[in-house]
Chain A
């Protein structure tokens, strides 16, 4: 990865982007059956709306666990690139997971966090990122050296390309607006699990 892709700029320096649009841009770059774990709420709604790939896992519950679930996939299949798409409120519930990722140090894992500073799905109450927490700095402090804010859409695209090169772990925080998600995921937990297993293992169980 080019070192100059990693910026030490803080949250205030990052452009506010649109989660649905950037999710579509990320998914459009996936050509090798990469696994994607979409976190609870709007993170997986937009992943679903970007096109239902068998290698997508949509989290109907277990808030905060997109990165740990993705880490488990990355450990099990070191040859497959794995993405976690998580929200700021969710990640704030499980910050220790960043230290776990740093200690395992999987080359094939990238965590992207959509940060709109609010619990959008429950009425827009502020999260801690709206007041003080800088998630890229937290990730860096947890030991993920390749942590950065995406400064704009072009930088985001370059970071997705870098993640696809497999030189991770990579942590990317992305500022997003409060526009609604582009769709709603089908709610059949077992079907989601079965499809994902078929997608990453070529079988149902």
Chain B
């Protein structure tokens, strides 16, 4: 793997994501908050390159990013696993049949030590929904994989006109933190 595809020394995962989003001209970020995603949300909100909206619900965010894509502006939806669980209808009836490359970044909650009981159950619905709808997805576990996976998944989504879900595993976002 080329060195530039393995991240740069000292960069955090959220810094790498911002750099890759810029390289693909993904300017619109629609997010529903999540503690794990908070550093990325702070970073895009503070950067004039991005237009950031924070709708009340993940479905809305997918609608906004879909409309923007059709009008020529690339976007990504940020959410946590419980939020993804609200999306089966909009993905099945808008993104998939219309071939809209909705980019989704999901922080994976409810596994590997999450103390939230609700997250622990609903997280099990994410991969079956993605598999049933045929939506490309990959869970990133290591910092050195962030640049390659995010870059290639965004590239493929736009080249193949297909939604894609980038999952951030606790192995990436939570390793080394104490409980």
Contact = CB atoms under 8 A, between A and B. Distances in A.
A99 B64 CA distance: 13
Interface stretch (B53-61, B116-124, B131-139): B53-61
A75 interface: yes
A144 interface: no
A2 B93 CA distance: 39
Interface residues of A, number: 38
Interface stretch (A13-21, A56-64, A125-133): A56-64
A28 B125 CA distance: 46
A72 B65 contact: yes
A75 B97 contact: no
B90 interface: yes
B55 A97 contact: yes
Contacts of B99: 190, 193
A75 B63 contact: no
A197 interface: yes
Interface in A16-68: 35, 37, 57, 59-65, 67-68
A192 B94 CA distance: 11
Contacts of B54: 100, 103
Given A193-B70, A200-B71, A72 B97 contact: no
Given A70-B67, A73-B71, A190-B98, A64 B51 contact: no
B92 interface: yes
A189 interface: yes
Of A61, A80, A94, A201, most B-chain CB atoms within 10 Å: A61
B90 A97 contact: no
A62 B28 CA distance: 21
Contact of A100 (B60, B67, B94): B60
A92 interface: no
Nearest to B158: A205
B75 interface: yes
Interface in B68-101: 68-73, 75, 89-90, 92-94, 97-100
A62 B57 CA distance: 13
B53 A104 contact: yes
Interface of B: 28, 51, 53-57, 59-73, 75, 89-90, 92-94, 97-100, 161
Interface of A: 35, 37, 57, 59-65, 67-77, 80, 94, 96-97, 99-100, 103-104, 189-190, 192-193, 196-197, 200-201, 205
Q: Which 3 A-B pairs have the closest CB atoms?
A: A61-B93, A72-B67, A96-B56
